[in-house]
Structure 1
């Protein structure tokens, strides 16, 4: 039979060579369908490399009267032999709540079947090829797959009884990041573009900087829509939240002035209040009101544990945003997750510059393992977004500094 995929991969290590087996799997679910298909793939990735995925198809249940299924075919490579991978896949099904009964066509949280092993159809899988619901995702992997006696799977598919099979459009994911032009917001916007997100890039005055970020976003094949807005304006228009589906909102823009400045300048004080708290709150509330589900990540400060600081007004805004993080998570779960990161010494204040020796002295004085950087913040943000079982958490990203 003909497959368009690469030959079995040989991994070389000192003194030996490892051969990886190739399998084609069919995943199906008609209970919490999108979630279980996605979770199954993530669990499979713990033991195999997913080389290719078909589109996801909505197919009628083979047994009449049951909810429609979502089905997807995937190609995986792994060192596991056929017997072992069967055992592992059954364990994944059990972990996702599959209860096997004598009814082969009953509803199920997940069904994972091995169709092909190293280029050969499994005997048990051949009977499933009489159902167009199974054949369609396989054809999407490679329309030239051979069925038997040189006949293509496509030709076989045309001989089957016609049924209503609908290709599910893979919606593009979108993230809105405030303060995307510089520093932390810039790093987060680029990181999520690399993860396959289109971006709504918020900025205020930094037009040249945001244009550069937009170019980088587009280099990764993603869209970068520019949103100019002054978060310090009490009349901030947040209607952009209603205009499209947004999967992730990151409130990273911030204003940082010490008390001596804000106490002597009412305008700066009010701007800091709105940029750090009121506008993020307004965005969160509009996001929850407009979207069906989603995730919010608020960027705080590790100093929110302190009660005395030369930046008390700034700290008050971040403390309040931390409280809102937990309150909104509790009020709107499970449709919405709201988490926060409280970074410590990630970047130096704007305009400051320290030598390596000065940094070393600070690290020793504060008992830190090292100075943090934006890569730490990016990794933590990606963890929070990928792990949909985390909600209402504030992660202190400061090497343990908040403990003292």
Structure 2
């Protein structure tokens, strides 16, 4: 797919991987629709403006079905269609399983797994009619091998991988591709808040000896949007963590 003048909708795109992905697609000449539960930072708006990007911001909680229906309808009408959907919105509520509250488990699955399901379901029929479309879901290496203290997060990301493969099978005959990206440790507000000792231990275990950058995940999303013969795959971007 040539990305110039294509329309890309990215959930959870006010910061981190989502913001980096929005900037990457804008640089590639795409129209970008950003989404988050909170307002876009002024710094991100400035970067998009400096790129001369054609973009808009649609706030909303992707775990709310009625919000998703309104959001996707508005997004589709804004630029006359959507070519690429990137389900990036996600949260964590980490705690060891024996102390995890049911509400924490439910909330993580609502946002991380139900949210992408609702977004895909709302847009898939429209993509079927145009017989083209790309869906990229953000999974995690935790969804592949689990992690202590993240039963809810791991379950949601493992579910994303299963959802991705199913959408790829259902959409293939109508020109729809669906893939997932499984990041490892990516530099973010969350990793920066970790105790230095914990960061050092993780870095020591990584063959590349550094955390990944949000822009490196964004580059993977660009690849998946452009390569027309890749579908149903989970691309691991983890600095060798899962070797």
Q: Give 1:375's aligned residue.
A: 215
Instruction: Report 1 or 2 for greater relative contact order, CA contacts < 8 Å, sequence distance ≥ 6.
Output: 2
**Match status 1:216 vs 2:55:** no
Which string of whole-angstrom CA distances, capped at 9 and with x for unpartnered residues, describes residues 315-336 of structure 1? 1111111111011111111411
Contact 1:236 1:279 in 2 (8 A): no
Residues 352 and 199 (structure 1), Cα distance of their counterparts in 2 relative to 1, 3 Å cut: same
Q: CA deviation at 1:358?
A: 7.0
Structure number with the higher strand fraction is 1
CA RMSD in angstroms, aligned pairs only: 2.6
Max radius of gyration: which structure? 1
Superposed, 1:137-286 pairs within 5 Å as: 172-205=5-38, 207-209=39-41, 211-242=42-73, 243=77, 244-260=80-96, 263-264=100-101, 266=103, 268-286=104-122
Structure number with the higher helix fraction is 2
| Structure 1 gaps, min length 5 | 1-34, 39-170
Superposed, 1:295-310 pairs within 5 Å as: 295-307=134-146, 309-310=148-149
Residues 386 and 354 (structure 1), Cα distance of their counterparts in 2 relative to 1, 3 Å cut: farther
Q: Give 1:74's aligned residue.
A: none
Residues 300 and 196 (structure 1), Cα distance of their counterparts in 2 relative to 1, 3 Å cut: same
Contact 1:214 1:224 in 2 (8 A): no
Q: Give 2:179's aligned residue.
A: 339
**Match status 1:318 vs 2:157:** yes
Q: CA deviation at 1:354?
A: 5.9
Q: How far apart, in 2, do the equivalents of 1:233 and 1:259 lie?
A: 24
Residues 194 and 354 (structure 1), Cα distance of their counterparts in 2 relative to 1, 3 Å cut: farther
Q: TM-score, normalising length from structure 1? A: 0.52
Q: How far apart, in 1, do the equivalents of 2:183 and 2:194 lie?
A: 19
Q: How far apart, in 2, do the equivalents of 1:187 and 1:371 lie?
A: 15
Q: TM-score, normalising length from structure 2? A: 0.84
Q: CA deviation at 1:192?
A: 0.5
Which string of whole-angstrom CA distances, capped at 9 and with x for unpartnered residues, describes residues 344-366 of structure 1? 011242661566x9755533334
Matched residue count = 232
